[in-house]
Amino acid sequence: MEQMDTLLLQLYGALRECRGVGFVDYAMNLFKPVLVYDSARMTTVDLRGGGVVVRQSLLFREPDDMMLDWSTIATSDLVMRDALDKMNQAVIFHASSRFPTRSSSDTIMRDYTHRYEHRNGTVQMMHDASSGHHIGMSLYRAADSAHYSEADRLAAQRLLPHLAEAIKLNDALHGPRPDDEGAARGRLAIASFDGRLHYCGPAFETLLQLEWPDWRMPRLPRALMEGLARGTARRHQGRHTLFTATVVGERLFLRGRQQFRLDQLAPREREVARLFGGGHSYKEIARQLELAPATVRNTVQRVYQKLSVGSKAQLAKLMASEV
């Protein structure tokens, strides 16, 4: 008991010393000698609407693609159901025993746990009243014989809520840097071809609500799906946002961002604007793009009108800001 109290003092004491990912690594390494695990994750999921939509994830000694893989098979994860049935209590599992049959769902999960070396684990689900989401803390051991005991489960049940709360507090105090990997993942979503979301980063949700204020989980807006289906580019440009999609197997991987003013330009107009803003003359651009100088001049005028700029210097500044 004294050891756990010391751990908690160290954990909360480090809140103002460590930032972001550095704090997560510190906290995970701090708890590792007591809870004994090879890898771990903290997952925020939205269960409203009947689906399982991953909102955020923090990984410790796990490959980045692991969470994206899990988001597509989460409905087959019986361990998560066990943890939800015993809310705020840690549950332990042995993968081969929990997924023993030859059914497709058990086979999928058994292959998944072996691929990522989650052969033994302990999981605890907690409800976040402020957001309505559920937070899952998961610890994994790679060796098939490294079972979690009842004593391990009780230790995890006491410590994991503190670990989750400390990570949330650290994020509130410091927040992610806008240019870090977590921010990039936040602008990502994964969906089935029918529009049902499996993973939705927080920044992606913000973009959806900016474009469609009345939109709600768990399916993508119909207008977005229809826009992505037109043509071969799988690109939807709205009033405020731009979304693109890539097909990977039976899933759509979507990325979104707010619109740039340059998005108003046609490809040829954008190329002329890049060269003209970069200091090239009408004649130089005409030679490079095999156009008449008058055509280049007319194109520049259209660019000025669309972008509401009045000089080459203003155009160059805008081009540099929206790279």
pLDDT per residue as tens digits for the range 191-221: 888 898 888 888 888 899 999 999 988 899 9
Lowest mean pLDDT among 5-9, 96-100, 146-150: 5-9
Q: Which helix (H) or strand (E) holds 121?
A: strand 120-127
Q: Which helix (H) or strand (E) holds 125?
A: strand 120-127
User: What average pLDDT score do residues 292-310 get?
Assistant: 85
Percent of the chain with pLDDT over 90: 34
Give the Cα separation of 175 and 178 in Å (integer): 9
> 3-state class of 7 per DSSP?
helix
Confidence of residue 181 (pLDDT cuts 50, 70, 90): very low
What are the two backbone dihedrals, phi and then psi, of residue 65, each rounded to the nearest 5 degrees?
Answer: -75, -10
pLDDT of 132 above 70:
yes
**pLDDT value at residue 179:** 44
Question: Would you call the peptide bond into 63 cis, given omega within 30 degrees of 0 as the criterion?
Answer: no
- Look up residue 291 and give its two tokens: 């156009």
Instruction: Please count the residues of the chain.
Output: 323
Give the Cα separation of 106 and 78 in Å (integer): 9
27 close to 166: Cβ distance less than 8 angstroms: yes
Helix residue ranges, H only, the chain: 2-13, 20-35, 64-73, 78-85, 95-98, 104-115, 150-174, 181-186, 202-211, 222-229, 267-277, 282-289, 293-307, 312-321
Assigned CATH for 2-174: 3.30.450.80
254 close to 245: Cβ distance less than 8 angstroms: yes
Q: Which CATH class is domain 181-259?
A: alpha beta
Max Cα distance, the chain (Å): 82
**pLDDT value at residue 148:** 96
**pLDDT value at residue 122:** 97
**pLDDT value at residue 174:** 64
Domains 2-174 and 181-259 share a fold: yes
User: What average pLDDT score do residues 114-137 get?
Assistant: 91
Between 189 and 18, the higher pLDDT residue: 189
Per-residue pLDDT reduced to its tens digit, 229-279: 876 768 888 888 889 888 866 778 888 888 777 777 777 888 888 888 888
Which amino acid appears at position 127 of this protein?
A: H
215 close to 197: Cβ distance less than 8 angstroms: no
Between 311 and 209, the higher pLDDT residue: 209
Report which DSSP code applies to 262.
G
- Calculated CA dihedral for residues 71, 74, 79, 83, nearest 10 degrees: 80
Give the Cα separation of 155 and 134 in Å (integer): 21
Per-residue pLDDT reduced to its tens digit, 18-76: 766 688 888 999 999 999 999 999 999 888 777 788 888 889 999 988 887 888 888 88
pLDDT of 176 above 80:
no
**pLDDT value at residue 185:** 53
**pLDDT value at residue 118:** 96
Give the Cα separation of 177 and 182 in Å (integer): 8
Highest averaged pLDDT of the listed ranges 19-33, 47-61, 138-152, 301-315: 138-152
> 3-state class of 46 per DSSP?
strand
* Mean pLDDT for the chain overall: 85
**What is the per-residue DSSP string for 180-243?**
SHHHHHHTEEEE-TTSBEEEE-HHHHHHHHHH-TT--TTB--HHHHHHHHSTTT-EEE-SSEEE
93 close to 82: Cβ distance less than 8 angstroms: yes
Domain residue ranges of the chain, discontinuous segments joined by +: 2-174, 181-259, 262-321
Report which DSSP code applies to 318.
H
Per-residue pLDDT reduced to its tens digit, 91-114: 999 999 999 999 999 999 999 999
Q: Which CATH class is domain 262-321?
A: mainly alpha
> 3-state class of 21 per DSSP?
helix
The owner of tokens 């990325």 is 255
**pLDDT value at residue 1:** 56
**pLDDT value at residue 20:** 64
